Amino acid sequence: MIKLIKRKAITPYLLSIHNSYRTLKKTFYFIRHGQTDLNLRGIVQGRGVNSPLNKMGIAQAQAFFDHYSTVPFDKIYTSTLLRTHQTVQGFLDLNLPWEQLVGLDEISWGIYEGKEQTPELLAGFEQLVAAWRNGELDVSIENGESPHELMARQQVALDHMLAQTDEKNILVCMHGRALRIMLCLMTGVDARYMDDFPHTNTALYKLLYDNGQFEIVDHYNTAHLEALINE
């Protein structure tokens, strides 16, 4: 059984909107990175594993680009990890402005980064996720991050993106677990319900930011993947 660590309690994060941001209107396109071989093999892949996309992941990235290349993005944001960079490479090739933010990195899975999902490890993950569903959001795997710790650095990333007043249409590429928690942070949903937000590689969540609030206007859109699924 995985040893769970109770981290130092952190005040739950709710998106703090600076008054100067309240008059801004922005449209955010949040996607998860494309598939990697470690995804396919069930290897634990968090902030501490920097793997590239596989052939399917590259095809997913191309499908997303083909579907959304006409959106007039003002800025591309990614995590610091290679798999997010490769996922938006088509947009970067258009010489769009790009910035990497550590606040968009995946959650750290601690001592289980890069390990196979054995029955024992999977049982431990279920124990961890059950604790999170129970509202124990300061709990993590040993040497890993808790949801509240992740939300602390996500808050910094969100504040930074909102502060860029000349950016109206923004593409953000990040990671599965981190995206679920980010959606809770933006919409004010209690993070214990993070798993209510499904995700798959390159699935899209589109959010409007207006009057200091985020609204999801396109929920888990995978239309661009239909051709790949039907192959």
Q: Contact 57/45 with Cβ under 8 angstroms? A: no
- CATH number attached to the domain at 4-229: 3.40.50.1240
Model confidence pLDDT, tens digit, residues 186-207: 999 999 999 999 999 999 999 9
pLDDT beyond 60 at 211? yes
Give exposure, 56-91, as e/b (b: 16+ Cβ within 10 Å).
Answer: bbbbbbbbbbebbeeeebebbbbbebebbbbbbebb
Model confidence pLDDT, tens digit, residues 10-33: 555 455 555 556 778 999 999 999
pLDDT beyond 80 at 7? no
Helices 147-163 and 176-187, packing angle to 10 deg:
70
Each domain of the chain, given as residue ranges in start order, spans 4-229
Instruction: Tell me how crowded residue 190 is: count the other CB atoms within 10 A of its CB.
Output: 11
pLDDT beyond 50 at 1? no
Model confidence pLDDT, tens digit, residues 141-182: 999 999 999 999 999 999 999 999 999 999 999 999 999 999
Which pLDDT belongs to residue 96?
A: 98
- Burial class for 107, CB neighbours closer than 10 Å (0-12, 13-18, 19+): buried
Which pLDDT belongs to residue 82?
A: 98
**How many helices and strands (H and E) does the chain possess?**
8, 8
Bridging pattern class, strands 169-174 and 204-210: unpaired
Secondary structure of residue 109 in the 3-state scheme: coil
**Mean predicted confidence (pLDDT) in 91-116:** 96
Which pLDDT belongs to residue 227?
A: 87
pLDDT beyond 70 at 101? yes
Which pLDDT belongs to residue 23?
A: 74
CA–CA gap between residue 124 and residue 75 (Å, rounded): 39
DSSP code for 164: -
* Mean pLDDT of all residues belonging to the chain: 92
pLDDT beyond 90 at 128? yes
Model confidence pLDDT, tens digit, residues 24-74: 899 999 999 999 999 889 899 999 999 999 999 999 999 999 999 999 999
Which pLDDT belongs to residue 176?
A: 97
- Tokens of residue 146, six digits: 């808790």
Radius of gyration of the chain (CA): 17
Q: Give the residue from 92, 93, 79 showing the smallest Cα distance to 51.
A: 79
Which pLDDT belongs to residue 40?
A: 87
